[in-house]
Amino acid sequence: MSSTIEVPQKITFRRYKDGDNKVHRLNQKIFQASHTYKCPTYIQSSPPCQASCPSGEDIRGYLSIARGTEKPPLGADGKPAMSWQEYAWRRLTEANPFPSVMGRVCPAPCETGCNRNEVEDHVGINSVEHFLGEYAIANKLAYRKTAQPTGKKVAVIGGGPASLSCAYQLALKGHEVTVFDEHEFLGGMMRYGIPGFRTPRDVLDAEIQRILDLGVKARLKCRVGKDITLAEIREDFDAVFLGMGAQSGRALPIADSEAPNVVTATAFLKAFNDGRLQHVGKRVVVVGGGDTSIDVATVARRLGHIAHAKPTDAEHAIAGRMAHDVAKVSAKQGAEVTLTSIFNIDKMQANRHEIEQALAEGIEIRGSLAPIGIVRSADGRATALRVSRCEAKLAGGKLEVRIIEGTEQDIPADLIVSAIGQSVDFAGLEEFNNGKGAVSTDRNYLVAGQKGVFAGGDVIRPHLLTTAIGHGSIAADGIHHYLNGQDLEKRPKIDAHQFDLMRKMAEKGLEIKETHEPMRGTYSSSVAVHNFDNRSDRYIIPHDKLFLGHFSYVPRNQRDIVTLSKETALGNFEERLGVLSQEKAVAEAKRCMSCGMCFECDNCVVYCPQTAVYRVKKNQATTGRYVDTDYNKCIGCHICADVCPTGYIQMGLGE
């Protein structure tokens, strides 16, 4: 049974509780604050968006640049050295070299974590990332390689997001990198697991080419363990990164799943992306519930079926044995596509927006159904998927599924696609298999018991593309330390790229005589900010530490989305997602509450009754160094902290 998703109505932040009909003057409450021994400290914290981003982007940073709070550095001529768009893109790509791709397909856990959800609706982080990625491609921006060559060589096995992220970071550090991939083109699941109408190939190619332009070499159609041995790799290279992904699909764990027209999602999508699969059967049933299952269902809906095609055509194409020339001369009709999930539709793991689009395209989504068997004809082909009602839940990290007896039913099918997960193909690399079909690593992504071998991405556990990008970046740090003969550093609690106040001051040309941190108990010494403490590596600032009353209701600037119908989806492989205009991208960035970092609102200066908090002189000011405190005037009244919207000012000095 198909259904629609009810989106809860968001309301703006209110400072009154239900039933409180009295108006209280906020300024009276503020000015009645008591005197204490505490004085302001300036605490840089991690915003929950960055802490929720698996690739560790400095989200607050590039939104601050887009909104105009943080300015690009000046060149020798006194003018900005680059546009704000380029400056924001460079900040973003310190963590993620695929902003245009990820701006399209990332399910954006950063937006789920956004504190602005407590006001009315999250900031459209993904859409600003998309805008910056498109700007970079249109303006042919390139990465800058400043590190000197180290003479060290690293082999990267696999050409997907984890591998390319690792290669990118290693190249920036001056190492020589060679990527080995068995496919004809680089990209991994970004190319072979996601349809082109979600990741346009020209966009993907442009972002990969930037990495290759850093000097990264690629050996394509070369499988390590077959075309070149692991022993040869170890002899020729100083370190190895395993990023071959999990590109083998999981078959349905039921009897008769080996029927010729029962295939895996990875085989289905690879056949489509290779151009081999040009039509499907009339009735397609997809088993899954995640993003991959949605991709399979929407592709099948677009391909449609051919009325007089041989019934074996589709599975032969998926197996790679034939092309579909007949598709060009036969009339296509819309396929009937059903997607089943063991979870109810509102609990499915797929992106909510993608579920809504699939429903609009006429794809039937049926929740709380578990596959229990295959109905086969005399010739051995599947004719239906047998399912049963079920109750599924995650308990202690394990999936528990309870079949409800007596609820069995058959869903007719000409093609059944299993999208229930992926597995790693360890052929030729069996020594890295931990016995559970994955690779075991530590927090630096060093492979257990393997000197100089690191891993990341789906070989550790299948997850998001952005997760793989983060793994590659962290592994590159570990490889860099290993190649330099250094101990691998203990990873911070919050593994994200953070705003660097010292770097910002250097950009401004400000001299820093003392750099000790935390800079507590300081007043007259020459430091960045008196009583400053960067806690970004360990502290995520929650919404209740912000002054939410500062923020008024501002509707989100949303991208234009083409929603197809059952009729218009057939044969439509055009991109559905539009990019924000520059005006809307800036407006959306301005909705960011800059959690844990000053965004120069002047509240603390305006409300301080002692004029103890003051603006730093313009020629000495930078982002994060906009205000300071005269502790001879401060009486510890807490007002500056109370009215700080971002939680950057906290009362702590004297503790």
Q: Report angle CA 320, 326, 330 to the nearest 5 degrees.
A: 140
Q: Is residue 1 included in any domain, yes or no?
A: no
- In this structure, the answer to whether residues 415 and 429 fall within a common structural domain is no
- Does residue 172 sit within a domain? yes
Q: What is the pLDDT of residues 278-294, one digit of tens each?
A: 888 899 999 999 999 99
pLDDT of residue 321: 41
Count up the domains in the chain and report the number: 3
Lowest mean pLDDT among 187-191, 307-311, 384-388, 420-424: 307-311
Confidence label for 276 from pLDDT (cuts 50, 70 and 90): confident
Q: 60 and 98: one domain?
A: yes
Statement to judge: residues 514 and 615 lie in one domain: yes
Task: Write the CB contacts of 481 (distance below 8 Å, at least 6 apart in sequence).
Answer: 487, 488, 489
611-623: pLDDT as tens digits: 999 999 888 888 9
Q: Average pLDDT of the chain?
A: 88
**Do 69 and 127 lie in a common domain?**
yes
Task: Write out the two tokens for 534.
Answer: 């960067």
Q: Tell which phi-psi region holds residue 575, choosing left (phi > 0), alpha (psi between -120 and 50) or beta.
A: beta
- Is residue 4 assigned to a domain? no
Same domain, 413 and 429: no
What is the chain's Cα-based Rg? 27
Asked if 50 and 188 sit in the same domain, the reply is no
Number of residues assigned to the chain: 655
Q: Looking at 205-209, 474-478, 517-521, 591-595, which range is the least confident one? A: 517-521
263 with 241, same domain?
no
* pLDDT number for residue 305: 84
**Cβ-Cβ contacts under 8 Å for 577 (sequence gap 6 or more):** 104, 130, 198, 559, 560, 561, 562
pLDDT tens per residue across span 396-449: 778 899 999 999 999 999 999 999 989 999 999 999 999 999 999 999 999 988
* Phi, psi values for residue 254, rounded to 5°: -135, 165
pLDDT tens for 211-258 read 999 999 999 999 999 999 999 999 999 999 999 999 888 999 998 888
Do 196 and 268 fall into the same domain?
no
Examine residue 7 and state whether it is found in any structural domain, yes or no.
Answer: no
Domain boundary among 442, 459, 483: 483
Per-residue pLDDT tens digits for 346-365: 999 898 889 999 999 999 99
For residue 464, give both structure tokens: 């998001």
d(CA 22, CA 27): 15
| Type and span of the H or E element at 270 | helix 265-273
Residue 17, in any domain of the structure? no
Average pLDDT over residues 559-583: 93
133 and 100 in contact (C-beta within 8 Å)? yes
Same domain membership, residue 501 and residue 474:
no
Q: Which domain does 578 fall in, by range?
A: 26-140+497-653
Instruction: Return the CATH number at 310.
Output: 3.50.50.60
Choosing from 448, 483, 518, the residue where a domain stops is: 483
Q: In this structure, are 444 and 375 located in the same domain?
A: no
Indicate if 313 and 399 belong to the same structural domain: yes
Structural domain includes residue 2: no
Which residue in this structure is represented by tokens 């200066």? 605
Query: Is residue 14 included in any domain, yes or no?
Result: no
* CA–CA distance, 655 with 653 (Å, rounded to integer): 6
Top-confidence residue, 610 or 655: 610
- Token pair 């764990």 in the structure block, residue: 253
Q: In whole angstroms, give the CA distance from residue 160 to residue 181.
A: 9
CA nearest 280: which of 293, 289, 271, 291?
271
pTM: 0.89
Q: What is the pLDDT of residues 121-144, one digit of tens each?
A: 999 999 999 999 999 999 999 999
**Mean pLDDT score, 265-269:** 93
Q: Is residue 474 part of a domain?
A: yes
Residue that terminates a domain, selected from 400, 420, 440 = 420
DSSP codes, 561-590: B----TTTTTT--S--BPPPPHHHHHHHHT
Residue 34's pLDDT band (cuts 50, 70, 90): low
Tens of pLDDT, residue by residue over 321-347, are: 433 333 343 467 889 999 999 999 999
SS3 readout for 148-216: CCCCCEEEEECCCHHHHHHHHHHHHCCCEEEEEECCCCCCCHHHHCCCCCCCCHHHHHHHHHHHHCCCC
Residues 434 and 406 occupy one common structural domain: no
Q: What are phi and psi of 112, to 5 degrees?
A: -65, -35
